[in-house]
Structure 1
Amino acid sequence: MAACMAVVLLSFSVCSCGDDDEDSVGSRDLLLGTWNGVYYLDQEWEDGEMVNNHKEDFVNGTNRYSIEFKEDGTYVEKDVYNLSGGTNYYHGTWTYSGNKLTMIDADDEGYTEVWTVTKMTETELVYELREKEKEDGSVYEYYEQHAFVR
């Protein structure tokens, strides 16, 4: 009887370990290098009603955007504005584990965001951020998604 219980308990622990691996997307090494923006999606809801739905397409040179993840754990974002002709650069540090990409902005007093990577292949990268907060009796929900190729 004790042996049967041990086998049953062991099977549960093996199954639960497998679930952790399902959240893993790509790897730190696969993330390294420069990724060119395809699009940026920004959505917002107030009390369940969508109040913002904006998608910016970066294809064909419009508002070119890229991010480089370096081996030393730093990143550089490049955002080119076609209307003004200017280019903004953002710097910081990053870590990657499972499917969580943590980015700490060195230019904004260490502002930290934890993105969920939903797709990572040799040529495609997609990550997203979901947030929810209550303020003055209203519930605000935010969703952002970035898609890249290389």
Structure 2
Amino acid sequence: MKKLILLLSVITLTFSSCSSDDDSQDSIIGIWNYYQSFENDEEYELDSCDKQDQLTFNSDGTYSSITYYSGNDDTCMVDYESTGTWVNLGDNIYEFTENEDDYTSTATIIFSGNTFYFIDEDGEDTYKEVYIKN
């Protein structure tokens, strides 16, 4: 009888000590502001309106984005807003589907502390965009 109680205790402890991956939060979740931009490893200077560009990734798999441009009197004007869904495919590869155009794209996102960046190659040119978490 003692062996049975001991076995049941070990089984109970084993299952109760396992943690679920469902408890972890994806690194992309949060509000991110455009921070830096590079073209072929040379930094492209962002103006104050560019730095207001914002991406918001929600834990329910949705996102929203808003971009700004500098108006005639140097005030920041909304350039484009979009919403959509995101999925973590693993290995830092994310799939994004924009609601407005039903357009799907994938990107490899590298996280480092409170920043992330992705690299886009277009022919001979390489672009790197860096975002910082609010």
> TM-score, normalized by length of structure 1?
0.57
How far the C-alpha of 1:69 sits from its partner, in A, is 0.4
Alignment of 1:70 onto 2:58: yes
The separation in 1 between residues aligned to 2:82 and 2:45, in whole angstroms, is 19
**Residue-pair matches, total:** 103
Equivalent of residue 44 in structure 2, options 44, 47, 55: 55
The 5 A counterparts of 1:58-137 are: 61-63=48-50, 64-83=52-71, 85-87=76-78, 88-96=80-88, 97-108=90-101, 110-121=102-113, 123-131=114-122
Distance 1:104 1:33, change over 3 A: same
Percent of residue pairs bearing the same amino acid type: 20
How far the C-alpha of 1:114 sits from its partner, in A, is 1.0
How far the C-alpha of 1:142 sits from its partner, in A, is 4.9
The 5 A counterparts of 1:19-34 are: 29-34=26-31
> TM-score, normalized by length of structure 2?
0.63
Distance 1:56 1:37, change over 3 A: same
Q: Indicate the RMSD between aligned Cα atoms, in angstroms.
A: 2.5
Equivalent of residue 37 in structure 2, options 33, 36, 40: 40
